Structure 1
């Protein structure tokens, strides 16, 4: 009885090994690539006063891991990287220069990139850039 079991399992192991080797041979055409697809999300615009419509200098803008500051014309440009699909980012606008050009209340704004179209991609993991323009009006601190 023991010999029959042993013979059965040897044959069964041979069949399994043969099947697994065929599966391994069939899977050799897969190209190995490492990484994750990514894209650059650019945000530009102008920061102005809600009361006077004048541009505001030295406003700190934070989007993802990028920090920028508005210039004398109130313009800014920030960008961050992410997976190349629709994305939502929270952007923080803060007055950091004290009373130099007036005091303004900080503002958090949600920016959505819905079905973004990317340009200048490499055709591989880097899908390119997408741009959005958002003008912000900050309220003065009273």
Structure 2
């Protein structure tokens, strides 16, 4: 009886190995059919960096305005002494619209200016410097802004 049980288990194990190999499971190298032929498995979603840069000036006399707060979807920077700024967002690589806000937050230090909001549109963006995998690269636009004096 014991010999019959042993023979049955050996045959059952053989049958299971054959079925697993047909389904794509291999215990030899720890691989499965999910490995895509031995290549690296990568999880996530495609992404790209959208960059907006430019200069903020006074509408009245065309002078650069430092310390203006520029915000684009969570990225916030201050303009430098020459009024230059750069904000960026990494998101899905498709057409995108970003609301950008320019706000004078330093009071009367550099004059007082009205807050301005504008939308930058990326339509059919071309990306460069991608990784060839999930990261598509980056694209940029320049947006120069002239702020009005507070009345």
2:76 corresponds to which of 67, 76, 83: 67
2:105 corresponds to which of 96, 99, 119: 96
How big is the shift at 1:29?
6.3
Unaligned runs of 5+ in 2: 1-19, 25-32
- TM-score w.r.t. the length of structure 2 is 0.73
Tell me how far apart the structure 2 counterparts of residues 94 and 40 of structure 1 sit (CA, whole Å): 24
Number of aligned pairs?
A: 120
**Residues 59-103 of structure 1, C-alpha deviations (whole Å, 9 max, x = no match):** 000011211110111110111111101100001100010000110
Partner of 2:121: 112
Let me know the Cα RMSD of the aligned residues.
1.9
Is residue 125 of structure 1 aligned with residue 139 of structure 2?
no
Is residue 81 of structure 1 aligned with residue 99 of structure 2?
no
How big is the shift at 1:50?
0.9
Moved over 6 A (4+): none
Tell me how far apart the structure 2 counterparts of residues 77 and 109 of structure 1 sit (CA, whole Å): 15
How big is the shift at 1:33?
3.5
**Residues 1-36 of structure 1, C-alpha deviations (whole Å, 9 max, x = no match):** xxxxxxxxxxxxxxxxxxxx9xx66xx467453111
1:36 corresponds to which of 40, 45, 53: 45
- TM-score w.r.t. the length of structure 1 is 0.78
Partner of 1:47: 56
Tell me how far apart the structure 1 counterparts of residues 114 and 126 of structure 2 sit (CA, whole Å): 33
Unaligned runs of 5+ in 1: 1-20
Tell me how far apart the structure 1 counterparts of residues 126 and 77 of structure 2 sit (CA, whole Å): 24
